[in-house]
């Protein structure tokens, strides 16, 4: 058939659900090839019933047996697979055109890399894979002949404001990339007010509705730090070409400044269906069901400098990409461990940047020569973070 075959890695998450919403609006263009979930079997079951993919992937054999039973009762023909290899298989499958990389965290790296090596069109939400292994990942995209499209709203905005092809930012006449961020739910809180914030407060983002991990990252502004690294790789930018700007309204999704003084921005409602639809249909445009901006009601758009004192994760991330090697992978791993400990109420909110800084300090490993080096750096950093976390209790 002529339909574009789509695999969604992390279908049961926030990005996955928004992607399925766009696909449902355009079932004359897209067909679901595979859906993957992890802990939410009931939700994945509902999605399989609605979209009838060829494959569904879950975490383990028990979950696979359970989902298979549920689907059989419905007369549904979706084949259920499980485990990490299955994630890579449905991402790299010869019949797949497009892979939406929307697993959260380091678990997204291997299947997203498989899609790159197999030359797929990749809609990248999983920024952690670029943070961990940017050099290897970009090389795999190039050699595999893949098309990498950024779903992250800021990067999608920058992508839309840059020329279609360019040798370097300088050649394109770009003088600055302005990466905007809302500042998160604690933008106006002083340090002492941050001491006792709860996971519930950290996960209540004023503008965006997202998964728990990225919500906490947004509250610590580690998300903006990870996005800084993501932007360096995606746009072949040096760190001195990117500037972080706090924009509380989340209407301007990022900007590109050119040598002649022109600044281009992309605006829209804070709704991830816009960047997802932009990538799915690229280079064309499709309806995304998103509320339009009412400019007569936008009373103000503010822009501020970020506060590196209250949000130390910003500096840690910028230093990490400048240091290079496996340092970004190490801070990403430390952050994942710290966020999990915070969500489990084992450590406080301000301990998150301490854990990340602790692992970053003195981390000196060279360039990873392959995926194995990245994975061992990730594991070593997690162990260091865990050891430090136990001293904090």
Q: Which is nearer to ligand NDP, 13 or 268 (CB)?
A: 13
Phi-psi region of 197 (alpha: psi -120 to 50; beta: other; left: phi over 0): beta
The binding track of 273-312 with respect to ligand NDP, each residue x by CB under 6 A or -, is ----------------------------------------
Cβ pair 145, 220 in contact under 8 A: no
Gap between the terminal Cα atoms of the chain: 58
Of 285, 368, 298, nearest in space to 330 by CA: 368
Coil, strand, or helix at residue 197? Answer: coil
Binding residues for 1-deoxy-D-xylulose 5-phosphate: 127, 153-154, 182, 205, 218, 223-224, 227
CB of 275 to ligand NDP, least distance (A): 8
d(CA 336, CA 37): 19
d(CA 298, CA 227): 26
- Non-local (6+) Cβ contacts of 358 within 8 A are 334, 384, 385, 388
Q: How far is CA 174 from CA 134, 216, 266, 301, in A?
A: 22, 32, 16, 24
CB of 215 to Mg ion, least distance (A): 12
Buried b / exposed e over 71-80, threshold 16 CB at 10 Å, is beeeebebeb
d(CA 195, CA 349): 6
Question: Using CB distances below 5 to 8 A depending on partner kind, what does residue 12 bind out of ligand NDP, Mg ion, none?
Answer: ligand NDP
CB of 77 to ligand NDP, least distance (A): 21
d(CA 232, CA 235): 6
Stretch of 10-18, 182-190, 338-346, 381-389 lying at the interface with ligand NDP (CB under 6 A): 10-18
d(CA 168, CA 237): 8
Stretch of 35-43, 46-54, 135-143, 248-256 lying at the interface with ligand NDP (CB under 6 A): 35-43
Binding residues: 12-15, 126-128, 152-154, 182, 205, 211, 218, 223-224, 227
Residue 181 within binding range of ligand NDP, rule CB under 6 A: no
CB of 392 to ligand NDP, least distance (A): 24
Q: Which is nearer to ligand NDP, 38 or 233 (CB)?
A: 38
CB of 241 to ligand NDP, least distance (A): 22
One of 5, 7, 14, 118 touching ligand NDP (CB under 6 A): 14
Q: Which is nearer to ligand NDP, 125 or 146 (CB)?
A: 125
Cβ pair 333, 106 in contact under 8 A: yes
Residue 185 within binding range of ligand NDP, rule CB under 6 A: no
Cβ pair 228, 322 in contact under 8 A: no
d(CA 240, CA 65): 51
Cβ pair 238, 174 in contact under 8 A: no
CB of 364 to ligand NDP, least distance (A): 27
Q: Which is nearer to Mg ion, 5 or 153 (CB)?
A: 153
Residues 36-75 that bind ligand NDP (CB under 6 A): 37-40
Question: Using CB distances below 5 to 8 A depending on partner kind, what does residue 128 bind out of ligand NDP, Mg ion, none?
Answer: ligand NDP
Binding residues for Mn(2+): 152, 154, 227
Residues engaged in binding ligand NDP (CB under 6 A): 10-16, 37-40, 102-104, 107, 125-128, 152, 208, 210-214, 272
């Amino acid at each position: 058939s002529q339909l574009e075959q789509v695999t969604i890695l992390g279908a049961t998450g926030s990005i996955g659900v928004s992607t399925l919403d766009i696909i449902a609006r355009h079932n004359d263009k897209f067909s679901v090839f595979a859906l993957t979930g992890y802990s939410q079997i009931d939700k994945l079951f509902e999605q399989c019933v609605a979209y009838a993919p060829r494959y569904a992937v879950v975490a383990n054999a028990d979950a696979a047996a359970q989902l298979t039973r549920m689907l059989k009762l419905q007369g549904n023909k979706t084949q259920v697979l499980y485990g990490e290899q299955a994630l890579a298989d449905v991402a790299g499958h010869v019949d797949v055109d497009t892979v939406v990389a929307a697993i959260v965290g380091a678990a997204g790296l291997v299947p997203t890399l498989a899609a790159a090596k197999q030359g797929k069109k990749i809609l990248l939400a999983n920024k952690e894979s670029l943070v961990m292994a940017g050099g290897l990942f970009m090389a795999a995209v190039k050699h595999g002949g893949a098309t990498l499209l950024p779903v992250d709203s800021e990067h999608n905005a920058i992508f839309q404001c840059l020329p279609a092809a360019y040798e370097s930012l300088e050649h394109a006449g770009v003088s600055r990339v302005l990466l905007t961020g809302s500042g998160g739910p604690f933008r106006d809180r002083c340090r002492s007010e941050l001491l006792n914030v709860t996971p519930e407060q950290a996960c209540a983002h004023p503008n965006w509705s997202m998964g728990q991990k990225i919500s906490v990252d947004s509250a610590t502004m580690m998300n903006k730090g990870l996005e800084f690294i993501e932007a360096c790789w995606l746009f072949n930018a040096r760190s001195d070409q990117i500037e972080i700007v706090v924009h509380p309204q989340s209407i301007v999704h990022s900007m590109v400044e050119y040598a002649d003084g022109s600044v281009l921005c992309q605006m829209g409602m804070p709704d991830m269906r816009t960047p997802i639809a932009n990538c799915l249909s690229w280079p064309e445009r499709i309806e995304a069901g998103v509320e339009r901006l009412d400019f007569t009601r936008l009373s103000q758009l503010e822009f501020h400098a970020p506060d590196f004192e209250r949000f130390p994760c910003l500096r840690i991330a910028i230093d990490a990409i400048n240091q290079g090697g496996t340092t970004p992978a190490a801070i990403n791993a430390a952050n994942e461990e710290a966020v999990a400990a915070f969500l489990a109420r084992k450590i406080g909110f301000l301990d998150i940047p301490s854990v990340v800084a602790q692992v970053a300090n003195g981390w000196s490993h060279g360039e990873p020569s392959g995926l194995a080096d990245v994975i061992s750096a990730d594991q070593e950093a997690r162990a260091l973070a865990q050891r430090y976390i136990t001293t904090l209790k």
